[in-house]
Amino acid sequence: MKRRTGNWLGHIRQTVSRVWRGIRQWCGDASYERYARAHARHCCGATLLSREQFYLEEVEKRYSRVSRCC
Amino acid sequence: MGAIAIWTVIAIGGALALGKIALYRGEAINATWFVIAAACCYLVAYRLYSALISAKLLALDDTRATPAERLDDGRDFVPTNKWVLFGHHFAAIAGPGPLVGPTLAAQFGYLPGTLWLIAGSAFAGCVQDFIILFCSIRRDGKTLGEMARDEVSKRGGFIAQIAVLAIMIILLGVVALVIVNALKSSPWATFTLAMTIPIALLLGVYLRYLRPGRVLEASLIGVALVLFVVVAGRWVADSPAWAQVFTLSGVTLAFAIMAYGFAASALPVWLLLAPRDYLSAFIKAGAIFSLAAGILIVRPDVHMPALTKFVDGTGPVFAGKIFPFCFITIACGAISGFHSLISSGTTPKMIQREGHARFIGYGAMLMESFVGVMAMVAACAMQPGVYFAINSPPAIVGAAGDAATATISSWGYPVDTATMASLAHAVGEQTLFNRTGGAPSLAVGMAQIFSHTIGGERLLSIWYHFAIMFEALFILTVLDAGTRVGRFMVQELAGRVWKPLGRTGWMPGILLSSAVIVGAWGYFLYQGVIDPLGGINSLWPLFGIANQLLAAVALVVATTILLKMDKLRWIWVTLIPTVWLVTITMTASWQKIFDPSPRMGFLAAANAMAAQLVAGNIPAAKIAETQRLIFNQRLDAMVTVVLAGMILVLLVEALIQWTAILSKRKAAVLHESPYVATRWAAGAEGD
């Protein structure tokens, strides 16, 4: 019985954390971490942008193309 | 076997619900039937039609690496979880169009609009979004204009570019007009919306200097502040001095919105535009889900008849018969050319597997269509007399309440001044007569549904102003982002004439191009504000025509690519929607230009006013205004001629291409990027 409750709690915790991760990615909160991970993987030699620089460049780029519909 | 049984039950349920809403002719029908009909039809369309397109037309290949995998840079090309990308894509395509269009089209009754929303999305809108997304994925995320140039012709690419600019200008003018009509003489709503500007500035500073890039916490602070100003608006409306400050005329509001658009385009993007967008994303998602939940909980009765007498074109909300104007008025909830820009924008650069294109491209459009059905339910749930009293311009029903109610009641939709006064009082407005544009009536419908769920009559005014704020915030997001993109387009064109004008960081160029784009949509806004018919009458159809022109461009590109892929047998999938769109757009254009009725035809309206002027029937004080109205009608006619002309040129261009390909006179060269096998295991999910 105790084990089953533990499994349940584990599932709930996992689901909540997955939803939280999804919301952070959807709204752009996790963009910098994702960029830093990709930078570590691919951009050997290139300077890693600070969080502030990254944010400014991202919003500048996003609003220079059609990003919202009617 | 079990799956077949489940899908058979869903299909039968959808058919029964559709039959119920199509054939029912009683007093009122419950909204649950609309939800069941839409949900079952969408599920069946997704399960069968999108699967057919995936397998037979596009042959989606999950072993093929997408641009997000091959070009992953953590910024533009980012492999993204399909649910997160679905949310991104839906948030980008869902604008005010699917809310306003069905609300206006409700003047024909609930049936035509609902059927078009369901069938149009399943067979046209979703098909367009899905196939353009697929085409862009196969071409490293190229835009619609680039694909039109590569696959159709250079002229096709140029038409796509011009169509985007045209739709942008008309769209921004018409959505700004919807806000003006919603805020006119409403101190509560004007205060609430005005306060969202300092809130956005505050968030901009927070995200730039205090906690860079912490979007979630900034948005939560912003949402709390916005909800507070919605409530605080009542105190402003109750204070005679402050109410006077925020009671603005249509013309003043129009200039205020133009100033806002200019500021959003010229100021640094982090200061105003980006934080407002983050803010509106949460409010938009919350309001749409709340509306869906509210409709399911309250299950309101739909009082509007299935078909009204206005299918003959004599409707007060906008002129025009059910064909083609129902299909022009409801653009975004059924098919929207604008979506093809999103499907060939960021989404193809983030998709993880080709197979996800079906869920994201086809599925997100189905969800947008469902938003349109909910807007239709919200508009039709109020008494028809009330709906027409809110949405009819004074030039049709009279400015005085008594005259308006007498006219509307004589049409067979009873309403009285006491009912309208008590409703206006309950929602905290001075009056609800002649509040054209669709936003106020949708807000009343939404507020009635919300207040039945939480708070009852006591909270009706709060819910109403929440709904107005949600619609206006939604629209301002489109307006400021669109003005800025329009500014870049103007700079790109101007840069060809004089290079410095093309530099996006050069301040004189920024100011000049911002003034040009704001002046262009601002003119349409201004002409709508001074139009005695409320402006929506002429501007919304113009927007519909421009939007469907872009959809025709997208479908022609899709058809050409399918032909080159040797999919002649399945070409009807894109060809039938193309023929339908060209037919409705050309018919609507012809009628808007040449119809002999002054209420309908731009030239007839101009000629009728000119005749009045010549006959000396216009008072001296009104001569200048009448001349302006005549000019505006002729300008609208000219814009329509240009849009219709572009469709014809595109069609001829496409037919030449298709004939050349089919007769083998021209090699069917596809401009796809080469096949590269994915390195990811099946079932693996990215970030």
Return d(Cα B176, Cα B143) in angstroms, integer: 27
Q: Flag whether A36 is in a domain.
A: yes
CA–chain centroid gap for B405, Å, is 31
Backbone region of residue B24 per phi and psi (left: phi > 0; alpha: psi in -120 to 50; beta: other values): beta
SS3 B435: coil
- Tell me, yes or no, whether A70 lies in a domain: no
Q: Is the Cβ–Cβ distance between B254 and B183 less than 8 Å? A: no
What letter does residue B80 receive in the DSSP assignment?
B
What is each CA distance from B110 to B25, B103, B375, B377, B400, in whole angstroms? Answer: 12, 10, 11, 8, 28
How close is the nearest chain A Cα to the Cα of B91, in Å? 8
For chain B, positions 111-170, list CB contacts with chain A under 8 A: 164, 167
Q: Is A49 on the interface with B (CB under 8 A)?
A: no
Does A39 map to a domain? yes
Residue B125 belongs to domain spanning: 2-185+248-589
State the virtual CA torsion across B609, B610, B611, B613 in degrees, nearest 10.
Answer: 90
pLDDT for B404 beyond 90: yes
Over the range B410-434, which residues count as b (16 or more CB within 10 Å of their CB) and which as e? ebebebbbebbeebbebbbbebbbb
CB B342 to CB A32 under 8 A?
no
Q: Quick check: B276 contacting A, CB < 8 Å? A: no
Pairwise CA distance, residues B172 & B262, whole Å:
12
Helix and strand totals (H; E) in chain B: 31, 2
A29 → closest Cβ in B214, B274, B482: B214
Tell me how far the alpha carbon of residue B131 is from its chain's centroid: 20
- Whether B505 is in a domain gets the answer yes
3-state secondary structure chain A: CHHHHHHHHHHHHHHHHHHHHHHHHHHCCCHHHHHHHHHHHHCCCCCCCCHHHHHHHHHHHHCCCCCCCC
Q: What DSSP line would sit under B227-251, residue for residue?
A: HHHHHHHHHHHHSHHHHHHT---HH
For the residues A2-25, what does the mean pLDDT come to? 86
- pLDDT of residue B181 exceeding 60, the answer is yes
Average pLDDT over every residue of B111-126: 97
Does a cis peptide bond (omega within 30 degrees of 0) precede residue B240?
Answer: no
- Cα separation, B100 vs B318, whole angstroms: 13
In a domain, A67, yes or no: no
Q: How many domains does chain B have?
A: 1
Q: Is residue A24 part of a domain?
A: yes
> What range does the domain containing A12 cover?
2-62
Structure tokens belonging to residue B641:
């001629």
Residue A28 to residue B278, Cβ atoms within 8 A: yes
> Does ipTM top 0.90?
no
Query: 């079932």: which residue's tokens?
Result: B683
Q: What is the least distance, in Å, from the CA of A12 to any CA of chain B?
A: 19
- Looking at residue B65, the DSSP 8-state letter turns out to be P
Residue A8 forms part of a structural domain: yes
Is A69 close to B342, i.e. CB distance below 8 A?
yes
Task: Tell me whether B282 touches chain A (CB under 8 Å).
Answer: yes
pLDDT per residue as tens digits for the range B265-302: 889 999 998 998 888 888 888 888 899 899 999 999 99
Would you say residue A33 lies in a domain? yes
For B511-550, write each residue's pLDDT tens digit.
999 999 999 999 999 999 988 877 877 888 899 998 988 8
Q: B504 by DSSP, 3-state: which? A: coil
pLDDT digit string (tens) for B326-377? Answer: 999 998 899 999 899 899 988 999 999 999 999 999 999 999 999 999 999 9
| Closest residue in A to B544 (Cα–Cα) | A70
Nearest chain A residue (CA) to B68? A38
B550-605 per-position pLDDT tens digit: 899 899 999 999 999 999 999 999 999 999 999 999 999 999 999 999 999 999 99
Task: Give the residue from B43, B533, B121 showing the smallest Cα distance to B327.
Answer: B121
Express each pLDDT in B64-96 by its tens digit.
999 999 998 877 898 999 998 998 899 889 888
Distances (CA, A) of B300 to B31, B295, B371, B467: 6, 7, 16, 18
In a domain, A68, yes or no: no
* pLDDT of the residue at B277: 87
Is A18's Cβ below 8 Å from some Cβ in B?
Answer: no
Q: What's the CA angle centered on B545, arms B184 and B390, to 5 degrees?
A: 30
Contact yes or no for A68 and B477 at CB 8 A = yes
The interface residues of chain B toward chain A in range 645-664, judged by CB-CB distance below 8 A, are: none
Predicted confidence band at A44 (pLDDT cuts at 50, 70, 90)? Answer: low
When pLDDT is averaged across residues B611-616 and rounded to a whole number, the result is: 94
pLDDT, tens only, B186-204: 999 999 999 999 999 999 9
Q: Is B488 on the interface with A (CB under 8 A)?
A: yes
Question: Where does the pLDDT of residue B502 fall: very low under 50, low under 70, confident under 90, or very high at 90 and above?
Answer: confident
Interval B445-475: pLDDT, tens: 999 999 998 888 889 999 999 999 889 888 8
Coil, helix or strand at residue B169: helix
- Of the pLDDT bands very low, low, confident and very high (cuts 50, 70, 90), residue B684 is low
Q: Which letter does DSSP use for residue B60 in this model?
A: -
Q: Which helix (H) or strand (E) holds B632?
A: helix B623-662
B228 and A CB contact within 8 Å: no
For residue B407, pLDDT over 90 is answered with yes
Number of structural domains chain A divides into: 1
pLDDT at B474: 82
Q: Is B64 helix (H, G, I), strand (E, B) or coil?
A: strand
SS3 B333: coil
The CATH number of the domain where B516 resides is what?
1.20.1740.10
Question: What does R_g of chain B's alpha carbons equal in angstroms?
Answer: 25
Q: What's the confidence (pLDDT) of residue B329?
A: 94
How far apart are alpha carbons B347 and B368 in whole angstroms? 16
- The partner residue sitting opposite A69, judged by closest CB among B81, B93, B687, is B93
